[in-house]
Structure formats: C-alpha cells, structure tokens
Structure 1
Amino acid sequence: MTVMAERTSHASQMSVEEFERIAAYAAKETDDAVRFEFIDGRIGAKRVPDGDYNTIDMWLMRQCMQARPDLDLYQGQGLKVEKYRKGRARPDGVLVPAAHFAGHGEWAPAEGVLLVLEVTSYDSDTDRRDRQEKPVAYGAAGIPCYLLVDRDDCSVTLFSEPGAERGYGSTVRKSFGGVLSLPEPLGIELDTTELKQYAD
C-alpha cells in the first residue's frame, strides 16, 4: 500500500485493543491523514492514498458495477484479519455484497468479504507488506480473492483458493493490458488496459 512506518519495539507484545486505541487517537489528531494497520504483530502507519491509488480503486469499481451491480467496493474499511496474532488491515478496496458493512464499526469481520484490493507504492516496504505478508493474512482470514495491482512491474496478481500454508493455493499474474478472470463467487473478467496510465 502506501508508505508504512514500522514500529518494531515491543510490537509483538501489543494487544489488538491497545492498537485500536492508538489508531483511533492518531486518526483524530492527524485528521485521518495517516491510517494504521496491525499485521503479524507489527504496527504500521500509512499515508492516505494519492490520486492514482484512488483512480485504480475507481477502475475496479466501474468494472465490478458493470458486471455485478449487486456488489459494493469500499475504500478505507478496516478489516479484522486474524491469523496467529490478532490483526487489523485497511485494504485499498474491499469488495462485498451490497450494504454488507451496514451496522459494522471501524474494524469489520472478514467474513463475507469477496475480494480485497491492494495497490503497491514506491517504497521499501512494498515487497514485504503487499507481496508477502498481505497474501498470508488475507488467505488465513478466508477472503476468497486478493487482487494486487503492482505498479513496479505493471502487473496484476490474483491470489485465490484461501487456506493454503502461505495464504492462497492459486496465484495468477497478468501484465497490464491483459484480461484477468476473477473466479466464482465473482465471475468477473477484468480488462487491465486502463492501468497502463497509472504506472510511472
């Protein structure tokens, strides 16, 4: 996702309740200019996405709305992604049945989520965070699909079949310009040609 300032000292001893208090306080003090995640015992802060991030979210939203108007794509929705330690993540996009998050708070359960979207940033944490830790966390949480838009190598990667030892049992990668099939329960064909405009 975006720049992540990792706090490693005593991170493994922090409870999820302590993390949620810190995240709520920081959001109030920074006018939500920074968002926090807690994955695999590490707390990280990331800046709010830029225009290209948001445009990529809108690209996915438009494609999904055309194919599946019964789905909603949320930006900034916090998810409980629990594996060995309790975790909290804020994907760039969360695809769910319409009105799925009604009545939920800031951190909603991962149950019922159909797909999460992450967009790489140009920072040193992207490889560890988006390509290594997130597939494990999202797969362990049982989220059917994780879509990674990788601006470093101009590709999209779909992780599916959750529950494998490393999070997902299937990985399909396409260069920007290709068509990527999202499996059931989604059944959507994504034309990635437009994404060429959003990679520097």
Structure 2
Amino acid sequence: MTVMAEPTSQTSQMSVEEFDRIADFAAKETDDAVRFEFIGGRIGVKKVPDGDHNTILLWLARRCVQARPDLDLYREQGLRVEKYRSGRARPDGVLVPEEHFAGHGEWADPAGVLLVVEVTSHDSDTDRRDRQEKPLAYGAAGIPLYLLIDRDDCTVTLYSSPGADVGYHSLRREPFGARMLLPDPLGIELDTEKLKQYAS
C-alpha cells in the first residue's frame, strides 16, 4: 500500500533559525520540562509522557537490544528532518547502531537512523502530528522504517520504503497482539501481545 501524503499548503510560522532560538531558550529556562518540535512549518510541544508511554518504549528497547545487541534505542534524540519544510523532530525513540549519536548535538543528522518510533499521546494534536506529518518528515529524510504504536486504536503501524515526495510507499497495520516483523535493515520480529496492557 502506498502512503501518498500531501504536503500542507500552509505557510511556515517561522524560520528554522527562529525555532532553534526558541527551543534553546526553553531548554535553558524550563530544565527540559517542555520539549519543542518544528514539523510542517509549525512549532509543536511534546506532551510529557505518562507511565504507560514510557513503559512501551522500555519494552521496545528490550526487544530490540535482545535481538540485536549491536543497536541502541535513544529516547527523544532530536533529528534534523530538513527535507520536509526544514523540520526538527524529536521522536519518542530512535534505533541506531551502537553509540551512533556519540558526539552529536541536540539536533542530529538522520543519516544512519534505522527506525524511528512514536507512541501516541492522548491529546488533540496526535492525529496531525504522529499520523500525518511525521510519516512525511521521516520518509523524506530517508529513514528506512517508522513504527507508530497507536494507543488510541490499539494498533501497531510500520511505515517502510521511504520516498522523498510521498513519505513512505508502504505501510502495514496490525492490532495489538499480532506479530510484527521489522524488516531489513533490522530483521527483528515483535510479539505485540504485551502492548494490550498499556493501551489506556
């Protein structure tokens, strides 16, 4: 199934340089209590994750590292997704070769990223941010795989085959409880039964 995403026609709220200044100021003044992203020309605030959200990420990290000890799952590593409207994204999880981000700053180049992960939050912005804009941004950046763990409809969606103009060319959606294969470059199979416990 091809994921044909239409770029939004809205104008950008600000330049990426203006966003960087705001994000830097907020990080210094709030001790990282607030995290910003810049996707689709709009600034967004990442909601503080709840316990189930964090537990899902820990579950995924354990599964991935058990299967592939040569990988690390970084949480909320900033990525420059500049091919999609000069964006700055902060995925919930970023799976990369071990120590890949050593020496990188807050906003790293996405080259070498194998998988990005988002876990939906229960807020009004989730649909636009995680289901519409981020597949465009991550696919345009050439990230091979995007895994969306959706607590609203209890599904796991894997976006693959990135394309600069369409986001991702294919997706596979399965209910919590199904087995999901994360294909090359990963080759990891996830049994998502455990996610049923964290759907609230």
How far the C-alpha of 1:92 sits from its partner, in A, is 0.3
How far the C-alpha of 1:89 sits from its partner, in A, is 0.4
Distance 1:190 1:143, change over 3 A: same
Distance 1:117 1:109 in 2: 16
How far the C-alpha of 1:11 sits from its partner, in A, is 7.0
Q: Which residue of 1 aligns with 2:118?
A: 118
Contact kept? 1:36, 1:43, Cα under 8 Å: yes
Give deviations 1:73-116, integer Å, cap 9, x for gaps. Answer: 00021000122421000000000000000110000001000000
Distance 2:110 2:57 in 1: 19
How far the C-alpha of 1:21 sits from its partner, in A, is 1.1
How far the C-alpha of 1:165 sits from its partner, in A, is 3.5
Q: Which residue of 2 aligns with 1:179?
A: 179
Aligned structure 1 segments of 4 or more residues deviating by more than 4 angstroms: none
How far the C-alpha of 1:48 sits from its partner, in A, is 2.5
How far the C-alpha of 1:158 sits from its partner, in A, is 0.1
Gap runs ≥5 in structure 2:
1-9
Does residue 137 of structure 1 match 2:137? yes
How far the C-alpha of 1:162 sits from its partner, in A, is 0.3
Higher RCO, 1 or 2 (CA under 8 Å, sep at least 6)? 2
Contact kept? 2:149, 2:156, Cα under 8 Å: yes
How far the C-alpha of 1:68 sits from its partner, in A, is 0.3
Distance 1:141 1:171 in 2: 17
Q: Which residue of 2 aligns with 1:35?
A: 35
Match runs of 1:26-175 below 5 Å:
26-163=26-163, 165-175=165-175
Distance 2:41 2:116 in 1: 20
Contact kept? 2:13, 2:43, Cα under 8 Å: no
Aligned length: 191
* TM-score, structure 1 as length reference: 0.92
Contact kept? 2:77, 2:106, Cα under 8 Å: yes
Q: Which residue of 2 aligns with 1:5?
A: none
Distance 1:110 1:56 in 2: 23
Q: Percent identity?
A: 76
Distance 2:164 2:45 in 1: 28
Gap runs ≥5 in structure 1:
1-9
Q: Which residue of 2 aligns with 1:3?
A: none
Distance 1:39 1:186, change over 3 A: same
Distance 2:77 2:33 in 1: 15
Distance 2:113 2:191 in 1: 22
Give deviations 1:26-62, integer Å, cap 9, x for gaps. Answer: 1121121110000111011123322111111111101
Contact kept? 1:33, 1:47, Cα under 8 Å: no
How far the C-alpha of 1:13 sits from its partner, in A, is 5.1
Give deviations 1:4-25, integer Å, cap 9, x for gaps. Answer: xxxxxx9715221211110011
Contact kept? 1:160, 1:171, Cα under 8 Å: yes
